[in-house]
Amino acid sequence: MTKPLEQVLLTPGPTPIEPHAQKALSFPMRGHMDPEVFAVNARVQENLLTLYGANSSAFTCLLAGTGSLGMEAGFANLLEPSDHVLICANGSFGYRMAEMSERLGANVTVVKAPIGQAIQLEDVKAALEKQAFKLVAVVHGETSTGVLNPAVEIAKLAKSYGCLVTVDAVTTAGMMPYHMSDWGIDYSYTGSQKCLSAPPGVAPVAFSSAAIAAVEARKSKVPLWYADLEGLQAYWNRREYHHTVPVQLHYALDAALTAALAEGLEARAIRVHEVGAAALAALETIGFSAFVHRPEERLPTVLAVRLPDHVQDVPVRSGLRDHGVIVTGGLGETAGKIWRLGLMGESARPAIYHRFFDALEKVLGVKGLITAFDKHLAVRA
C-alpha cells in the first residue's frame, strides 16, 4: 500500500494524531491479559481521574468503541425501563441522547433550546419542578452548532433535586477545566479522537461512586452485556477476562493522555482560547462572523462561523481539500451556512491554522489572513 498524502484535519473530530500517540500505534502486539497491558491500563485509569477531576472512589476505564458507545453505556447502566430521564437537547448529540434513552425503554422528557443557543437553566428548573427524574443528561459542548451549555449549573441544580447527572464531555474534558466531583457529575465520557488527539476507537468513561451504587441497586440486568459496569470492573479492577481489548488503541490513548497532562490542562485551555480567538479575528476581516451570538455560549473547542455571501460552502471546502486542508460544514438546518472549525487537541495549534489560512488565501484569492491571525495571536500572547 502506498502512503496516502498528508492532510490537515480542522474537523471537529477526528483531530490530528498527537505525535507520541502516533508512535505508540506501532508498539509490538501484546495479549490483552499481559501484565504490561494491565500496567498501561492502570496508568490510564489513574490519569483519567485527573482528566475528569474525579476523586479516587470513581471508576474510570476505556470502552472498546467510540464516543457514542460512551454515551450509550451510561444510559444502559443508569436507566431501567420506565425510569424518568430529563435530556437537555439543542443539537444532534443531545437528540442522540434522547433517542438512546427511548430505545432503552426509559420515560424521556426533553428540555430544548433553539439551534445556536444554550439550554436555559430556568427551563431545566421548570421541568424538575413538575416531576421527579432519576437522571438528568446534558451535552457540555454541542459539536453540531458550537454551543457551550451551562453543564456545571445544570449539574448542581439537578443534584439539588436528588438526580443522577450525566454530562457528555466529548468536546470539553482535556481542553477545558473539568471537575466531575466538585460539580456533582455522576457519569462522563469522551471519545479518543476528540480532545485527546488519539485515534478513534476507545471511549474514556468515568462513573462516580453514586453512579456505581445506582448500577448495583438495579432490579433488572444491564441490557448491554458489552458495556455492563460489572463486566468492565472485572477486567479493569480485578484483571479477569471480559472481552479482548484493542491493545494498540490503549497504548495510543495512554500516550496522548500522558502528553495532555504533561502539557497541563490549564495550559491547554489557554491554548484553545488564544488560537480560537485569533482564528475568528482573522476570518472576520473577510466577512465571516461567529454563528453563536452570545460570546459566553460559544464552545472554545468548535468555532462555528457563518459564511459571508461571497464564500460558497461546498466549492470552497473542496478547493481547500485540494490543498490538503479538511474543513467541516454545518449539519441539518445550518448546512451550507456555517463551517465548524475544530480546536480540539492538536488542531488548536498555530501551525495548523497557518496551513488553513494559507489554503484559504489561495482558494479565495485574498491576502492578509495569516498576518491577521499572527497579529491577533501576538497581541494576546
Q: Please give the residue ranges that form the binding site for ligand PLP (CB under 6 A).
A: 13, 66-68, 71, 93, 139, 143, 168, 170-171, 191, 194, 200
Of the pair 80, 168, the CB lying nearest ligand PLP is at: 168
Q: How far is the CB of 76 from ligand PLP (least distance, A)?
A: 15
DSSP run (H or E) holding 166: strand 164-168
Q: How far is the CB of 371 from ligand PLP (least distance, A)?
A: 32
| Whole-number Å distance between alpha carbons of 111 and 88 | 5
Of the pair 18, 80, the CB lying nearest ligand PLP is at: 18
Q: How far is the CB of 47 from ligand PLP (least distance, A)?
A: 20
Phi, psi (deg, nearest 5) at residue 136: -120, 130
| Whole-number Å distance between alpha carbons of 21 and 269 | 20
Burial letters 270-288, b for 16+ CB under 10 A, else e? ebbbbbbbbbbbbbeebeb
**How many C-beta atoms lie closer than 10 Å to residue 131's C-beta?**
10
What counts of helices (H) and strands (E) characterise the chain? Answer: 14, 15
Of the pair 331, 364, the CB lying nearest ligand PLP is at: 331
Q: How far is the CB of 12 from ligand PLP (least distance, A)?
A: 6
The C-alpha cell of 311 is what?
A: 464564500
Q: How far is the CB of 380 from ligand PLP (least distance, A)?
A: 26
DSSP run (H or E) holding 67: helix 67-78
DSSP run (H or E) holding 313: helix 313-322
Find out whether 61 and 45 touch, Cβ atoms under 8 Å.
yes
Find out whether 121 and 153 touch, Cβ atoms under 8 Å.
yes
Residue with the closest Cβ to ligand PLP?
67
| Whole-number Å distance between alpha carbons of 266 and 277 | 17
Of the pair 152, 377, the CB lying nearest ligand PLP is at: 152
Q: How far is the CB of 361 from ligand PLP (least distance, A)?
A: 29
| Whole-number Å distance between alpha carbons of 70 and 94 | 14
Q: How far is the CB of 279 from ligand PLP (least distance, A)?
A: 19
Of the pair 14, 53, the CB lying nearest ligand PLP is at: 14
Of the pair 99, 322, the CB lying nearest ligand PLP is at: 99
| Whole-number Å distance between alpha carbons of 215 and 58 | 13
DSSP run (H or E) holding 6: none
Of the pair 119, 359, the CB lying nearest ligand PLP is at: 119
Of the pair 176, 311, the CB lying nearest ligand PLP is at: 176
Q: How far is the CB of 356 from ligand PLP (least distance, A)?
A: 20
